[in-house]
Structure 1
Amino acid sequence: MDNEGVFYRQLPKVELHAHLNGSVSSQTIEKLIRQKPHLDIDHSTTAIGKGQQRTLDECFEVFKVIHKLVDTEEDVLMVTTDVIKEFAADGVKYLELRSTPREVKDTGLTKKSYIETVIKAIQQCKNEGVDIDVRFLVAIDRRNGTEVAMETVKLAEEFMLSSDGLVVGLDLSGDPSVGHGKDLLPALQRAKNCGLKLSLHLSEVPSQLEESDLLLNLPPDRIGHGTFFHPEVGGSQSLVDKVVKNNIPLELCLTSNVKGQTVPCYVKHHFKYWYQLGHPSVICTDDKGVFSTDLSQEYQLAASTFGLSRKDVWKLSQQAIDCIFAPEDVKQQLKQKWNDLHTQVFK
């Protein structure tokens, strides 16, 4: 690895937008495929390699394949443990994983046992001394409508109270072309009222301005993507003003947006727009497995594309601490950790 690569790997990082199933590495997929030969799955369908691109629809097809492979508590435990250890190996010191609780009738996996198993994996890694603080966001899949969304919020509430601070919030995700945010407002409002933090995928595709406007009134605690907010890409100044007024951090995923074709190329990524505004923006991976990337690569890409110095990059990674959903004492511990690591990284 060149010096540049070493710097980014050693840089302590915060990952706030990582879908569990999309983060499963090709090594873990290999293990799952070997365990389930009857599924006859072609590995090339599960990751999008260097220079490859797929439409957003095709990206969602990849998830269907991964869901077929991950359908028991044992699978969920292995996958979560592997993902956590890979993020830790990449220098990530604080991670918020997100996933929609799933049930699989044939294997006895329930939505509740799904969340319990993710929490078990987090605790196991902690007990093994893996150097990473991991929290969990329970995800609402917008495709499943109002009723399921409310069920999901109730589950998240229950675990927020019983998971010893590991369940910190709620994610709204799923295929952005399906459903409308207004149907999910009651569930999101309930979540907010009971103290769950909200991270919402907003304006991931161009046609969502009205929905984004509506959901920004909640307001969410963080925004996933926000690709089409700004006027230069057909958004509106009033959306930008709402985001800025409420100081809502954005979770920005460069490779995901370019490979998923919602952004034409790295140079045109909206990171530049928000960074120049001085607005809190956190670099994230989205789906490191599906998009064949890791957080070190994403930081390096942002730096080389937008001319950021190592000092700028350090500041970006440090400022991400203020955007986490864990409480104030955890933020203070992380800031101390960054201070302790500074000399090592800049030696």
Structure 2
Amino acid sequence: MMDNEVDVFYRELPKVELHAHLNGSVSCPTIEKLISRKPHLNIGHGMTAIGKGQRRTLDECFQVFKVIHQLVDTEEDILMVATDVIKEFAADGVKYLELRSTPREEKHTGLTKKSYIETVIKAIKQCKSEGVDIDVRFLVAIDRRNGTEVAMETVKLAEDFMLSSDGLVLGLDLSGDPTVGHGKDLLPALQKAKNCGLKLSLHLSEVPSQLEESDLLLDLPPDRIGHGTFLHPAMGGSQGIVDKVVKHNIPLELCLTSNVKGQTVARYSDHHFKHWYQMGHPSVICTDDKGVFSTDLSQEYQLAASTFDLSREAVWKLSHDAIDCIFAPDTVKQQLKQKWIYLKPQVFHYRETDSL
């Protein structure tokens, strides 16, 4: 009974998801649909990891990523994937979602980077027209592996869509293999993005060797930090860097399961969430890749609460305070805060009835 009651509380809790990669969020049922549509790819033999869920090794997680990239190469695929992902987040009680993805082109199917973004926007609008209870926005991702020139092109694309998408495209994500390249080469593109009004969410210090780069990129400064695993002195970072983050009041997007499964954090109790949370610094619980890492946002909140002994009121505050970290305008923040006020009595109702 208790487990069920706990599950209900976290599922009913209204939530904000600010760090979700589109392709990494694809669920097993969606992958199965994609496989059935593309028998010519002969995917099956190497797919043993798909049904393993929580038991996937890190290598198997990356294998799933590769398979998804093989399977998603047309506008039709992207539309289905984005629609499924949005509806799954909504079913998990997420009321506001910022999806992110690197626009891809596939010459053999005619997919262009522009049509990639257009299709994600189409999925967002489609879900809205169907009355799905979630406000979805999009961040265009720069993959650091692709270098300076592509980064500049991506900024131009993002700027065009920011001006034409009626507020659906809000900013840029910087991600990709953290061991490749250096942030200094991407500074001109990121500065250009900032100058034209795009919001910036940058993956920083995902690996220990990135401190110098993080220090440099924090001078922009970004509007949010993805992961920031090794920024804090307790994690091998520096007080100077923490001071910069605090000075600019830059929120952190923290992904517990992703870091533990990705083996950048040894165990949940070691997660850097505790350092930033104890400081009272804006910290938002996120999933990163809910499909690949077999999690959802309800589970991530539950993990944070059980690991760091957070009361339900503290969990509610964490969820509510995440609203201040979104990239949408203040009018949207106010609407979300009203929604939280409206939902609070019914979310906490479960505990009252079960304790009678």
CA distance in 2, matches of 1:323, 1:41: 40
Q: Using the alignment, how far apart are the partners of 1:47 and 1:303 within structure 2?
A: 27
Partner of 1:228: 230
Structure 1 residues 193 and 210: alpha-carbon distance in aligned structure 2, compared to 1, 3 A threshold: same
Specify which of 302, 318, 332 is matched with residue 334 of structure 2. 332
Per the alignment, residue 4 of structure 2 pairs with 2
Shift of residue 46, structure 1, vs aligned partner: 4.7
What residue is the counterpart of 2:256 in the other structure? 254
CA RMSD of aligned residues (A): 1.2
Q: 1:48 to 1:137 in 2, by over 3 A?
A: farther
1:279-310 CA distance string (max 9 Å, x none): 00000000000000000000000000000010
Q: How many angstroms does 1:65 deviate by?
A: 1.7
Which of 61, 64, 88 is matched with 1:62 structurally? 64
Q: How far apart in 2 are the matches of 1:73 and 1:52? A: 29
Find the counterpart in structure 2 of residue 135 from structure 1. 137
1:64 and 1:72 mapped to 2: Cα distance? Answer: 16
Name the amino acid aligned to 1:162. S
Cα contact 1:53–1:258 (8 A) shared by 2: no
Residue in 1 that maps onto 2:321: 319
For 1:64, give the aligned amino acid: K
Structure 1 segments (4+ residues) deviating >3 Å: 45-48, 58-62
Unmatched 5+ residue regions in structure 2?
350-356
Residue 31 to residue 46, structure 1, CA distance change in 2 (3 Å)? same
* Map 1:65-84 → 2, pairs under 5 A: 65-84=67-86
- Secondary structure of 2:18's counterpart equals strand
After superposition, give the CA deviation of every residue in 1:145-196 in whole Å (9 maximum; x if it has no partner): 0000000000000000000100001000001111110110000000000000
- C-alpha distance in structure 1 between counterparts of 2:308 and 2:226, whole Å: 21
Contact persistence 2:158–2:171 (CA under 8 A): yes
SS at match of 1:198: strand
SS at match of 2:179: coil
Return closer, same or farther for 1:222/1:157 CA change in 2, 3 Å cut-off: same
- Kindly provide the CA deviation profile for residues 197-216 of structure 1, in whole angstroms up to 9, marking residues without a partner as x: 00000000010000000000
Q: How does 1:150-299 map to 2 (within 5 A)?
A: 150-299=152-301
Q: Deviations over 1:302-326 (max 9, x none)?
A: 0000000100000000000000000
Aligned length: 345
After superposition, the Cα gap between the structure-2 partners of 1:48 and 1:329, relative to the gap in structure 1 and judged at 3 Å, is farther
Say whether the 8 Å CA contact 2:49–2:61 is kept in structure 1. Answer: no
Asked if structure 1 preserves the Cα contact closer than 8 Å seen for 2:61 and 2:293, the reply is no
Q: What amino acid sits opposite 1:174 in the alignment? A: G
Alpha-carbon distance between aligned partners in 2 of 1:207 and 1:226, rounded to the nearest angstrom? 12
2:346 is equivalent to residue 344 of structure 1:
yes
TM-score, length of structure 1 as denominator length: 0.97
Structure 1 residue 105: Cα displacement: 0.3
Question: In the superposition, relative to structure 1, how do residues 53 and 267 fare at CA in structure 2: closer, same or farther (>3 Å)?
Answer: farther
Cα deviation digits, residues 118-141 of structure 1 (max 9, x gap): 000000000000000000000000
Superposed displacement of residue 45, structure 1: 3.9
CA–CA distance in structure 1, aligned partners of residues 81 and 17 of structure 2: 17
Mapped to 2, the partners of 1:265 and 1:247 lie a distance apart of: 27
Q: Alpha carbons of 1:60 and 1:145: their partners in 2 closer, same or farther (altered >3 Å)? A: farther
Deviation readout 1:225-277 (Å, 9 max, x if unpaired): 00000111211111111001100000000000000100000000000010001
Matching residue within 142, 150, 153 for 1:148:
150
Question: What does 1:1-20 align with in structure 2 at a 5 Å threshold?
Answer: 2-20=4-22
- CA shift, 1:38, in A, is 1.6
TM-score (norm 2): 0.95
| Residues in 1 aligned to 2:283 and 2:205: alpha-carbon distance in whole angstroms | 16
Is the CA contact (8 Å cut-off) linking 2:21 and 2:101 kept in structure 1?
A: yes
CA distance in 1 between counterparts of 2:322 and 2:50 reads 30
